[in-house]
Amino acid sequence: MKHNDLPNADEYLKSYWIDSTDTTNYPSLQDDISVDVAIIGGGIVGITAGYLLKNKGVKFAILEASQIIQGTSAFTTAKVTSQHNLIYETIKNSSGIERAKQYADANQSSIDFIEDAINLHKIECDFERLPAYVYTNDDSYIKKIENEAEIASSLGIKAKVTNSIPINIPIKNALVFENQAQFHPRKYLLALAKYLSNGSNCVFENTSVLEIEKGNSIIINTSTGKKVTASKVIISSHFPCYDGLGLYLARLRPERSYIVAANIKETFPNAMFISAEKPTRSLRYQNNKGKQLILIGGDGHKVAHGENFSNHYSNLQKFAQDTFKIEDFLYNWSAQDYITLDKIPYVGNLSLSDKNIYVATGFGKWGMTNGTAAARILVDKILSKNNPWEEVYNPSRSLTLRAYKNIVTENFDVAKELVMGKLKGGETKITLKIGEGKVIDIDGNKYGAYKDENEVLHLVDITCTHLGCELKWNDAEKSWDCPCHGSRFSYDGEILEGPATHKLNHYKEGTNKIHPNFV
């Protein structure tokens, strides 16, 4: 098998986690309701928060724009670990050892929390305790790994440096965290959702939040025309759907990363792996119908930055073939994550002035434990309980000079994309192959053109409905992506990722022509 043999048909562009579980069919919101807590977003934060609130007898509702557990929680590598690459030295140097301790305890404790919930409810979700390795073959990372091991050990984590790992990858040294875990995220979260919704309608799918009105009570206007009145609101919609002057647009960087999944001819070790250096290479296995499905992830980049995005899948496939004896490739998918300025998530009050609206965002590709910790922090705040980890995650925490420099860098990049996107022209004729998309120019206006499998042509306005940046074609996902804040749209203009809340204008061949060239 050559490295360009990775299947790129649409049926392969799907998540194994979704493909191996049943779809959900929760109702949309059909009546005005009042609850104690409204939860916006049905991923790991929203479902876990609902689970905790149910156990405390608090009335709540989860509002999901599409279907629950079909966002980033369904496109993760699903490592349940406190080892987030080389995070602890970073936190110690920027925020001090106490905050590093809080972060370590939050994530270590959340591994146990997930395991306890699985055991209590007898959830079959392939949960397994395993060591997690960070490895390097780059001399510049040797000392960093040694420092990380020393700091992690001082924080109570079973960590050590090793000169060998149980996989055929050349290394200079590696860091291992013992007693970490992996699981099937949808099997776990679908079981929790079933438990928390048993006997009541508290999960609402296909119910987008259009507007939040603040007052004595908070009123949420939804896409179904119905309202939710709540005393408190948790925003766990990946990117906050409501900013509340928290300036999250300036404090989050959207990134995409990729996964290919393959059967191999040898046995994968009982461990998880990730490279310290870039391009990142992340590896784990998943039991699938009596065989090991190997997940190879990495090759991340800022959303809509670069060209020929399908090459990222080819890069991972080539790495897989250089490392293993590949039997066949079964899946490839990508995920979107948001990175904060200091690499620590924002969890807590949305802003200093919003005492009853809470946010959880910016998990930086480590959402299984961070998302669980976030739900626990927010529910404690709602119940007026002290939480020992809330300081390190506080969205209003003070930032280092380096973090402030990141604000300047990120927003300069946004400004550049906004201006350059308006200046760049497109092609003047619509000549497309099936499955191809490109920017075209019609009478001085730019449109995104795409030809589907039935040879039907689709045009969309490619000005992002969020803040007006010009979208770029993503050939790997067949989508129009925003290089500024990470909104993504399908070729027919539907929203795939926020923060945009309005779809693109869409013109379809044979229905609403906009120009004689549209043929």
Do the Cβ atoms of 68 and 62 come closer than 8 Å?
A: yes
DSSP E strands, 183-290? 203-204, 209-213, 218-222, 227-235, 252-264, 272-275, 281-288
Per-residue CA distances from 111 to 81, 108, 116, 369 (Å): 7, 5, 9, 6
Tens-place pLDDT, residues 105-128: 999 999 999 999 999 999 999 999
The residue assigned the tokens 């670069």 is 306
Do the Cβ atoms of 329 and 6 come closer than 8 Å?
A: yes
Report the C-alpha gap between 88 and 444 in whole angstroms.
Answer: 51
The closest alpha carbon to 135, from 271, 268, 269, 274, belongs to: 274
For 189, the enclosing helix (H) or strand (E) is: helix 185-196
> Looking at residue 116, what is its pLDDT?
98
| Cβ atoms within 10 Å of 231's Cβ, excluding its own | 16
> Looking at residue 197, what is its pLDDT?
92
- Indicate the pairing of strand 272-275 with strand 252-264: unpaired
pLDDT band at 502 (very low <50, low <70, confident <90, very high): confident
> Looking at residue 413, what is its pLDDT?
53
Q: Give percent above pLDDT 90 in the chain.
A: 73
Residue type, 133: Y
> Looking at residue 107, what is its pLDDT?
98
Per-residue CA distances from 52 to 55, 204, 472 (Å): 5, 18, 41
pLDDT band at 4 (very low <50, low <70, confident <90, very high): very low
Contacts of 400 (CB under 8 A, 6+ apart): 94, 95, 342
> Looking at residue 444, what is its pLDDT?
76
Report the C-alpha gap between 81 and 179 in whole angstroms.
Answer: 9
Average pLDDT value over all residues in the chain: 90
Do the Cβ atoms of 450 and 432 come closer than 8 Å?
A: yes
> Looking at residue 508, what is its pLDDT?
81
Q: How many CA atoms lie within 13 A of 170 on its CB side?
A: 5
Tens-place pLDDT, residues 231-280: 999 999 988 988 887 788 889 999 999 999 999 999 999 999 999 999 99
Which of the two residues, 92 and 446, has the higher pLDDT score?
92
pLDDT band at 467 (very low <50, low <70, confident <90, very high): confident
User: What is the phi/psi pair of residue 452, to 5°?
Assistant: -85, 180
Which of the two residues, 107 and 302, has the higher pLDDT score?
107
The closest alpha carbon to 85, from 177, 183, 188, 221, belongs to: 177
pLDDT band at 357 (very low <50, low <70, confident <90, very high): very high
Q: Which residues partner with 446 through β-bridges? A: 441
Complete domains list, the chain, with CATH: 21-75+187-250+343-399 (3.50.50.60), 400-518 (2.102.10.10)
**DSSP state for residue 264 in the 8-state scheme:** E
| Cβ atoms within 10 Å of 187's Cβ, excluding its own | 18
The closest alpha carbon to 77, from 299, 308, 225, belongs to: 299
Burial of 438 (0-12, 13-18, 19+ CB in 10 A): middle
- pLDDT exceeds 60 at position 12: no
- pLDDT exceeds 50 at position 340: yes
- pLDDT exceeds 50 at position 517: no
Instruction: Determine the average pLDDT of the residues in 474-482.
Output: 90
Tens-place pLDDT, residues 401-447: 555 455 555 454 544 444 444 445 555 566 788 888 989 888 778 89
> Looking at residue 124, what is its pLDDT?
98
Structure tokens at 360: 């959880």
